[in-house]
Amino acid sequence: MIDWNTAVQAGTRLVRPGPQVSHAEAREVVAELRDLSAIAHGHVREFTGMASEVDPAPATVVDRPGWIRANVDGFRVVLEPLMERMQERRTSGFLGYGPGGVMVQAVGSRVTGLQVGGLLAYMASRVLGQYELFLPPDPEGRAPTGRLTLVAPNIVHVERELEVDPHDFRLWVCLHEETHRAQFTGVPWLREYVQDQMTEFLLASDLDPGALLDRIRDAADVVADAIRGGDGNLIDAIQSPEQRAVLDRLTAVMTLAEGHGDFVMDAVGPEVVPSVQKIRSRFQGRREGGSRLDKTVRRLLGLDLKMKQYAEGAVFVRAVVGEVGMAGFNEVWTSPETLPTHAEIAEPARWIERVLGPRAVDAPDVPELPADDS
């Protein structure tokens, strides 16, 4: 299905180089990011009250090619169930194990590998950090729980572009990513829930050749519409009807996770990041900016939807914490049943009523966040 070696080679060849720094500067950035991730971990643990790891492994700091290689490994883990399903459905003949089928599969997998590599090259210059949930097993065959990764060249590039204090910006980014580490290490069932939803989404793919052809045509229409300024995206175009319900659940939980990260990085920020409001204001402007081509690509890849997740999720978290306090909000992590639905994210009072019920709670003051983020 995908030639992963081709994907890595294409991605690392196509990715743009990062900002120019000396070897000494690069070492200093890497060391500071590792130190700041540990500092941010303590702030996040104290502020959120989540039972995350007490002494986690230091953040892994990578360059752009390193981020590409890490994500290819993650893709292989995530896509394994679908690969197995497709393997089972292969038959002899043109698209099966005959000579013609082998040739078609080999050529097709390289083409797909090039496409994946191109996508990763684009993303590798934008991502500041991530908590990697899906990693290959270690040498003893055990699946790692996750890894916090920071992309040093991108962090340096953005802090220079925004003209903000480097130390403050790096700590601010670490606060967001450490919040994700707290979510997935402090909530025992969350990682498995997300993985199960992703597996269900992939296995709901319609592998019928006719249906796949229809999806390809829909995707082509979306691309043409996006070039004309439309707001369609490839994710909606290629999913089957059965996948839409799964994607709704996935989108809801990721909106919560991203919004929680944005809320924490700003709410903790005023005490430990003096220039947080300046950073947030300029960073928000950067999220919404870009050339027409860049905006078109973001719409196609669904990145604009991700930006919407940050905003909607942060509004939800801020509203719930303001109403019932942090301890009340943390009830959201009790089980999959206490996660908010799409409708509840839009109307936090509905989640409070369903999960917490009518009760009086003395909620603490919530730090005021910049208006840009609401």
| Coil/strand/helix, residue 142 | coil
CA 155 to chain centre: 16
Greatest extent of the chain over all pairs of C-alpha atoms, in Å: 71
Do residues 100 and 282 lie in contact, with contact meaning Cβ atoms separated by under 8 Å? no
Tens-binned pLDDT, residue by residue, of the chain (374 aa): 688 899 999 999 999 999 999 999 999 999 999 999 999 999 999 999 998 877 888 899 999 999 999 999 888 888 776 677 666 665 544 445 444 444 445 556 888 888 889 889 988 999 999 999 888 776 666 666 789 999 999 999 999 999 999 999 999 999 999 999 999 999 999 988 998 888 887 777 655 544 444 444 444 443 344 344 445 444 554 566 777 788 888 889 989 999 999 999 999 978 899 999 999 999 988 766 555 555 555 555 555 566 676 789 999 999 999 999 999 999 999 999 999 998 999 999 999 999 998 753 444 445 555 544 43
Burial class (CB in 10 A: 0-12, 13-18, 19+), 67: buried
Length of the chain: 374
Q: Give the CA distances from residue 135 to residues 107, 115, 142, 199, in Å, rounded to whole numbers and listed in that order.
A: 27, 22, 10, 15
Q: Which of 74, 39, 38, 73 is nearest to 57 (CA)?
A: 38
d(CA 17, CA 1): 29
Distances (CA, A) of 340 to 52, 261, 351, 363: 21, 16, 6, 20
Rounded to two decimals, what is the model's pTM? 0.80
